[in-house]
Copies of this chain bind each other. A is one copy, B any other.
Amino acid sequence: MSLLAIGTIAFDDVFTPYGEARMIEAGSCTYIAMAATHFAQPVQLVSVIGDDYNQDFLADLQRRGADLAGVEVVKGGKSFFWAGRYHDNMMGRDTLDTQLNVLADFNPQLPASYRNTDYVMLGNLSPQVQSQVIDQLEGRPKLIALDTMNFWMDIAMEPLREVLRRIDILIINDEEARQLSGELSLLKAAAKIVDMGPRILIIKKGEHGALLFDGDKLFSAPALLLPTVVDPTGAGDTFAGGLMGYLAATDDTSFENLKRAIIYGSAMASFVVEDFGTRRMQTLDQAQIDARIRQFTSLMEVAL
């Protein structure tokens, strides 16, 4: 089944205790695409870049199964740029620079070929832009997933509430779930968030795994323990990309399959943090993914 993904295609400068990388290809749409194309093709990308972007990288994305028809290239424009430095404990980071550039006037236009897509991943962008994508869809997709962040809760709560009423899956982290709901207990938070619209809630907890709420059913996925996290940037987007790619590939939105999709998303996220940007994803093969899925199985299995 087809998957549509909107988000940023960016250049990042990233500084971590393990080193640095400059002007690397990054952005939520990039990470989603790198993960999702391992499972589903085509992944129809919606984004905006300047004509300064790396053509070889885009060609590689295309070869992997990304459809770039919806990626607007602004002549003479500069691509979105972000720079950040991770703290020594890797638990927090400081933004050093953000240059919206062509993203400032992003007005997504879906090519006709995208409008009847089956699965939609709305990466972290303003809720107004996320809504604009839904507006342009012709059929009702089987599943619309949305990622957002506390920034939009702070400055665009009403548009966020509007788009939440139009989606099926919300994917946020635990801190964001608490802020969105005003509840400390994630159980109470989930109940309130489901009342806002999304039928399914996935709460990412980083090194502590992820939680899936679907009606009265609940699943807790562990995270793999990694010896070294080189660059956490894009882990959440890669998780979402793996998850939605798996769902689109299997075309099964049952609770049992959502659980599997979370494990596949977690596996993909566990790879991306092993190197800067998308480097690790470039060399990833199916045997490596399968081996990591087996690690999840052994991490969780207990006979009670």
Report which A residues bind B (CB closer than 8 A).
Answer: 89-90, 184-188, 205, 207-209, 211, 217-223, 225-229, 256, 259-260, 263, 293, 296-300, 302-304
Contacts and interface: CB of A to CB of B under 8 A. Distances in A.
Given A185-B225, A187-B227, A219 B90 contact: no
A220 B209 contact: yes
Contacts of A223: 220
B185 A226 contact: yes
Contact of A225 (B211, B228, B229, B260): B211
Given A222-B222, A263-B304, 7 more contacts: A185-B226, A205-B208, A219-B299, A256-B302, A256-B303, A260-B303, A300-B302
A299 B211 CA distance: 9
Contact of A299 (B186, B220, B256, B260): B220
A150 B297 CA distance: 33
A296 B222 CA distance: 13
B293 A304 contact: yes
A111 B184 CA distance: 46
A256 B298 CA distance: 11
Contacts of A228: 185
A222 B304 CA distance: 14
Contacts of A219: 299-300, 302
A222 B205 CA distance: 12
A223 B184 CA distance: 15
Most-contacted residue by chain B among A218, A225, A228 (CB, 10 A): A225
A89 B89 CA distance: 23
B220 A186 contact: no
Contacts of A207: 186
A263 B185 contact: no
Contacts of A208: 205, 208-209
A219 B299 CA distance: 5
Contacts of A89: 184
A300 B303 contact: no
A290 to B, nearest CB: 10
Nearest to A17: B184
A219 B260 CA distance: 18
A183 to B, nearest CB: 10
A260 B302 contact: yes
A249 to B, nearest CB: 15
A39 to B, nearest CB: 14
A220 B300 contact: yes
A205 B211 CA distance: 15
A243 B44 CA distance: 50
A41 B227 CA distance: 41
Contacts of A303: 256, 260
A242 to B, nearest CB: 14
B225 A187 contact: yes
A269 to B, nearest CB: 15
B296 A304 contact: yes
